[in-house]
Structure 1
Amino acid sequence: MEHTALVDVYDRLSSTSSNNEKRDVVAEAFAESDAHLWRLVVLVRGRLFPAHDRRELGVSSRLTLEAVLTATGAPEDEVRERWRQTGDLGDAAAWAVENGGQQTLFSETLTVGRVHDGLRELADFEGDGSQGRRVDALAGLVSVATPDEARYVVRTALGHMRVGVGEGTIRDAIAVAFLDGGDDAVSAVERAYQVTNDFAVVAETARDGGRDALAELDVELFRPIQSMLAEKAESLAEGLADAAADGRVRYEYKYDGIRIQVHVGGDDVRLFTRRLEDVTAQFPDVVRAMERGVTAENAIFDGELVGYTPETIAGDDRTPVVFQELSRRVKRESDVEATSREIPVVVHLFDCLYDGETLLDDPAAERYERLVAAFDSVEPEFDDGVAGLELATTATVSPDDPDPAAALYEEALERGHEGLMLKNPDATYQPGRRVGRLLKLKPTMEPLDVVVVRAKYSEGRRSELLGRLYLACYDAQSDELREVGRLSTGYTDDELRALTDRLESLATTRDGRLVEVDPEVVLEVEYEEIQSSTEYDSGYALRFPRFLGVREDLGPADADTLERVDSLFDAQ
């Protein structure tokens, strides 16, 4: 398949704002793709690896610009100017190919396979000279591309396609291309994606075997699935009523830690964050605890990894560390054992998703029983580098008698945790979904996780620091980020210096004191209220947002959604 055919698909997607039209364009491309289907599925979104594969291509905007200049011989200042004007390095690359000083080799046809495979190889370059090899490989693709092809090669390399295709579009397109496109077909595709996190596998399965084959796709050990997410309960009474089933509600501590998914297969233990990132190497103490405590031969657990102060880790009245302190361990690559003793942890398990057979469709009450049977508690052993392992503090209550839940809620807050989780005992596990049968109760208006998309240098004492940060939520329908306000308070000088260093390394364009950045940094912010606004493309503005911390465990697609902001606005 020639790459120009895929470019035509991109252009058609860019020319319409209709979600249904985008779905139909993608469905048509899928249906006609034959052997290239699996490549096309990932290329149309610019995500070259499935969601559970956290490899990165390792090409920044700076390296991509260097590749464009190498391939085209265009003047750097003119390429940068077009980049600044459009905010899109892909558009600048198209101009450079058309107007550069070097003759590109259009006689050499660029194929979908060459673009896909060539870009994926960038992730495998390691060691000395790897950045130079990436530049050369990317320049090799641009050098044989037409202007339009170069635009999308660069956008794919950077992961910013600008064609408005999100997961929902891919899901619906698969249902239309290979099934009947109805609601049941969409549900079948979504369920298959939930257990695989791989649309390429789902698409090929739907094409080759239809709905029956999709139903056979299942959870696999060491292939993480998305965490089931909770909606916010407006009050304890309402939450208990909403989560009740047959007069029962399970309630438990809402811990302030890192959501962790633990996979155990024989002697092999691996740990994944909510972002599906493998953090096994960062938590050897947790691996030891699992090796000691897990009695099931094979299992997948859902839980919360909480850091506690070394002085209290072995007692009954532990003091949790703040999330930002715990998050240091997620990115740690050296002195891991030493850091594990500085910030010891306990894993509080609250669900079992697999114990030799899939439990996603089983009711929560039964999954809890299987959880209890699958492991024994492990006391933390600080000196030996063994984490704690235990059940989350939990109980079952009747909505008609909320006093026990109220007491546990107060206890959780007193112990430094966030509040309560309220669970419907009959609820199935729905990966990646916020559902009303799983609720969280917290004492304050819930903070938002938002992405920094641009930043401006402050005035006065902080004039050398990027102290004014533009924040965005994630529009899952269009796979785009929508701005929701500007942040300028809440951080210390040290925190702001660290943020500035990080954001400056992600800078793509500069216009005076305003800097556009690659959207990689996710922040947790609190705010006074959400207001309707025409200033930002989300239609909303956070009033008086305040910095709480960096969410190292989240990526841009894990940020709070526009739908979430909309619901919070309505609930005010």
Structure 2
Amino acid sequence: MISVTTTLTGFSFIYFLYSRIPYAMLCKTFERCEATTKRLAITEYLVQLFLQAIKLTPSGLLELLYMCINKLCPDYEGLEMGVGESFLIKAIVSSTGRNIKNIKAEYRSTGDLGTVAMNSKGSQGTLSMPKPLTVHQVFQTLKDLSQITGNQSQKKKIDKINSLLVQCRGSEAKYLIRQLEGKLRIGLAEQTVLSALAQSIVLSKPETSKLSQEKIEQALADAAAIVKSVYNQLPCYDMIVPALLEYSIKDFPDHCNMRPGIPLKPMLAHPTKSLTEILDRFEDRKFTCEFKYDGERAQIHLLPNGKSMVYSRNSENMSDRYPDIMSKLANWVMPTTSSFILDCEAVAWDKENKQILPFQVLSTRKRKDVKEEDIKVQVVVFAFDCLYLNGESLLRLPLEERREKLRSAFKETENEFYFARQMDSNNIDDIQVFLDVSIENNCEGLMVKLFDGEEASYEPSKRSRNWLKVKKDYLSGIGDSMDLVVIGAFYGRGKRTSVYGAFLLACYDPETEEYQTICKIGTGFSEEDLLNHYNALKGHVIEAPKRFYCLGENPVKPDVWFEPVKVWEVLCADLSISPRYMAAVGKVDASKGISLRFPRFIRVRDDKGPEDSTSSEQVMTFYYNQANSSKGKGDDMDY
């Protein structure tokens, strides 16, 4: 038996060269990350972890990385390991023998089932030490769990969780339960993990040690930029990690190129409050205006083998939801087009009157097990960008050239496929008229995009100022609506006694992985809306707020708390600093956050997950934009 002793910042492990990465090593790294808020320190802990894996067990690096970002596979494959808290409580009871009432009481006190599981294991006596867990074992078990369905699935899942909990030592139970919940909440943002991966690859090369400190730092920065760029175009660690291990950082991009079948994170636009802001941003530059359609962002892929699929803005495979798009795709693809990635909008459509229907109509369409013959809500596709065509990436081309290729590769087909309606003018009166026309055609407003030059390229996953969105409703408001997460509710009064009458909403901070309260909302709802919300949320009620809900010292306390699952679009009159709401706390004030004044419900955003909701950084930007705008009008606003 050959063994090697290695040290991870003072924590020693025995590695067996023919074995796997110990789960304890990963959990120790999690502990260190959780104990700090310093991004550089967290990155350093991850670099050390990945370096050990690269040197001793490179075949385990992919699974290790997935465990760090708490995923089982690429997003588009759709495997989720999130397990409900009531289910996990049963598993903890089963594996430790503790009383369920005591476990629930401790959970209400700590707000963290992972800590409850660790404490329960700590108080449990054992006759012999179980075999140590490995990252491979935990990862594969979690993957098996996510695929269990059918009869006795609950018992099978509990048995698998029990088998892991029995083997847990120290803090392992804590992080295992958190991973089963689907949220580690230790500050491991995916961009940080990508940086650490890139740096560990560079530092693992023998030639790096021969460089000066200055050159090493430059090499690390360059590598992080390259890996993030490749990931934005090819978000698939199954391809990225093996390529990084095999090729140099310099050659790595040549072996990991975007391709149909793997969805990119879409490019996003910045909101704007005035038409003059558009002219200021694009002064002396060529730009184009397009209708902003009120539908569901879609990315349509055609592979060279003829297979096609539709993905959502958050990489969910929606092909089963849109069988009508799949069956009609051949009607609007030119014979010379063999493969493509199309950025577009799927919009509800009235065939008889040949007009767009509101998003609310589209939202009534089934999301699963859709049969084309049963479809009642028809859709058309409005295409506005082509990202890949016939084996060639178009991302670096300016929009002007991408539009030319789009129009040469597809043809408009009545009631099925249209090009986004556009206008090219830098006259503010023309833009105002075109905005009015878009509203008359049941669109949300306009997208204004830089049209030529290097800056007019497509930037995946980026909210770019080279794209601006303008909506008529927002011209005199904060500049945009917000997509917020429902985390609590208040019982209704009067006619609303049988449903929830108001709700507590939150934005998301990706750096801290927290949901930060931002407002209480009770307007904009019809009686039907309130009933639908009650039915949609009642299955997500929890006993106490999650530990990753940022509530403040004097919080607003709803009657009912929810899992963070539902996202709503909300409009407001303006934003203000608040001692009771915590959105962007620490960014504009050390202890106070930002709240919305006169918030109004617009619609449910089924196309967005909770972590795709408006970020605290965006809330802060809205606040500063509002403050600057008011200051320009002569108001004295202190921010």
Higher alpha-carbon deviation: 61-70 or 484-493:
484-493
340, 350, 369: which one aligns with 1:309: 350
* Cα shift readout 1:58-92 (whole Å, capped 9, x = no counterpart): 62222222222111111101111111112111112
Q: How does 1:234-245 map to 2 (within 5 A)?
A: 234-243=273-282
- Following superposition, the deviation at residue 458 of structure 1 comes to 3.6
Equivalent pair of 1:485/1:536 in contact (CA under 8 Å): yes
| 2:522 equivalent in structure 1 | 488
Give 1:90's match in structure 2, choosing from 114, 123, 140: 114
Taking the aligned partners of 1:76 and 1:109, their CA distance within structure 2 comes to 27
Alpha carbons of structure 1 residues 105 and 357: separation in structure 2 relative to 1, 3 Å: farther
Residue 261 (structure 1) shift: 0.3
When residues 129 and 353 of structure 1 are mapped into structure 2, their CA distance, relative to the original with a 3 A threshold, is same
Q: Is the 8 A contact 2:324 2:372 kept in 1?
A: no
Unaligned runs of 5+ in 2: 1-20, 203-215, 546-556, 584-592, 627-639
Separation in 2 of the partners of 1:298 and 1:263? 7
Q: 1:566 aligns with which of 612, 615, 620?
A: 620
CA-CA distance at 1:220 after TM superposition: 1.5
In 1, the alpha carbon distance for the partners of 2:616 and 2:189 equals 13
Partner of 1:26: 46
Q: Write the letter of the residue equivalent to 2:31.
A: D
Q: 2:173 aligns with which of 150, 157, 160?
A: 150
Is contact 1:206–1:213 with CA below 8 Å preserved after alignment? no
Mark the runs of 5 or more structure 1 residues left unpaired by the alignment.
Answer: 381-387
Q: Say whether 1:287 aligns with 2:356.
A: no
Going from structure 1 to structure 2, the CA distance change for 1:378 and 1:175 (only over 3 Å counts) comes to same
Measure the CA separation in 1 of the matches of 2:528 and 2:129: 51
Q: Report matched runs for 1:394-543 at 5 Å.
A: 394-397=422-425, 399=426, 401-426=427-452, 427-443=456-472, 444=474, 445=477, 446-510=480-544, 514-538=559-583, 539-543=593-597
Task: Give the deviation of 1:406 after TM superposition.
Answer: 2.5
Which structure has the larger Rg over C-alpha atoms? 2
1:326 aligns with 2:362: yes
Equivalences for residues 45-60 of structure 1 within 5 A: 45-57=69-81, 59-60=83-84
Other structure's SS at 2:249 match: helix
Question: Quick check: 322-331 or 70-79, which moved more?
Answer: 322-331
Q: Say whether 1:114 aligns with 2:168.
A: no
| CA apart distance, 1:230 | 0.3
Contact 1:52-1:198 at 8 Å conserved across structures: no
1:164 positional shift: 1.1
Please tell me whether residue 37 in structure 1 is matched to residue 76 in structure 2. no
How many angstroms apart in 2 are the aligned matches of 1:195 and 1:527? 35
Count of aligned pairs between the two proteins: 554
Q: Equivalents in 1 of 2:541, 2:96: separation in Å?
A: 23
1:391 pairs with 2:423: no
CA, structure 1 residues 145+247, in 2 after alignment: closer, same or farther (shift >3 Å)?
closer
Deviations 1:137-183 (A, max 9, x none): 12221122125111111100111112011122112222332235544
Q: Does structure 2 conserve the Cα–Cα contact (< 8 Å) formed by 1:251 and 1:394?
A: yes
Residues in 1 aligned to 2:217 and 2:98: alpha-carbon distance in whole angstroms: 47
Q: Deviations over 1:104-145 (max 9, x none)?
A: 874221111111111011121122222332222122211221
CA contact (8 A) 1:279 1:330 kept: no
Does the aligned pair in 2 maintain the 1:361–1:428 contact within 8 Å?
Answer: yes
Further displaced range: 29-38 or 155-164: 29-38
In structure 2, what is the Cα distance between the partners aligned to 1:350 and 1:81?
54
Q: Secondary structure at the match of 1:308?
A: strand
| Aligned position for 1:197 | 235
User: What's the counterpart of residue 66 of structure 1?
Assistant: 90
Alignment of 1:241-390 (within 5 A): 241-243=280-282, 247-265=285-303, 266-295=305-334, 296-313=337-354, 318=355, 320-329=356-365, 331-334=367-370, 336-339=372-375, 342-355=376-389, 356-380=391-415, 388-390=416-418
| SS, match of residue 535 in structure 1 | coil
Percent of residue pairs bearing the same amino acid type: 28
Helix, strand or coil: the match of 1:281? coil
Q: TM-score, normalization: structure 2?
A: 0.82
When residues 370 and 414 of structure 1 are mapped into structure 2, their CA distance, relative to the original with a 3 A threshold, is same
Matched, 1:164 2:187: yes
Structure 2 distance, partners of 1:88, 1:324, is 37
Q: 1:461 & 1:67 partners in 2: Cα distance?
A: 41
Cα distance in structure 1, aligned partners of 2:155 and 2:351: 44
Corresponding residue of 2:210? none
Aligned mates of 2:516, 2:384 — CA distance in 1: 34
User: TM-score if structure 1 supplies the norm length?
Assistant: 0.91
Letter in 2 for 1:370: K
Task: From the superposition, tell whether residues 546 and 181 of structure 1 become closer, same or farther in structure 2 (CA, over 3 Å).
Answer: farther
Could you tell me whether the CA contact under 8 Å between 1:104 and 1:144 is conserved in 2? no
Select between 44-53 and 509-518 the one with higher mean Cα deviation.
509-518
**1:181-227 C-alpha deviation (Å, 9 max, x unpaired):** 54433321211110122346434433442322332221121111111
CA contact (8 A) 2:71 2:80 kept: no
> 1:304/1:334 Cα in 2 relative to 1: closer, same or farther (>3 Å)?
closer
Give the alignment of 1:69-80 within 5 angstroms. Answer: 69-80=93-104
Which fold has the larger relative contact order, with Cα–Cα distance below 8 Å and residues 6 or more apart in sequence? 1
Inter-partner Cα distance in structure 1 for 2:67 and 2:471: 40
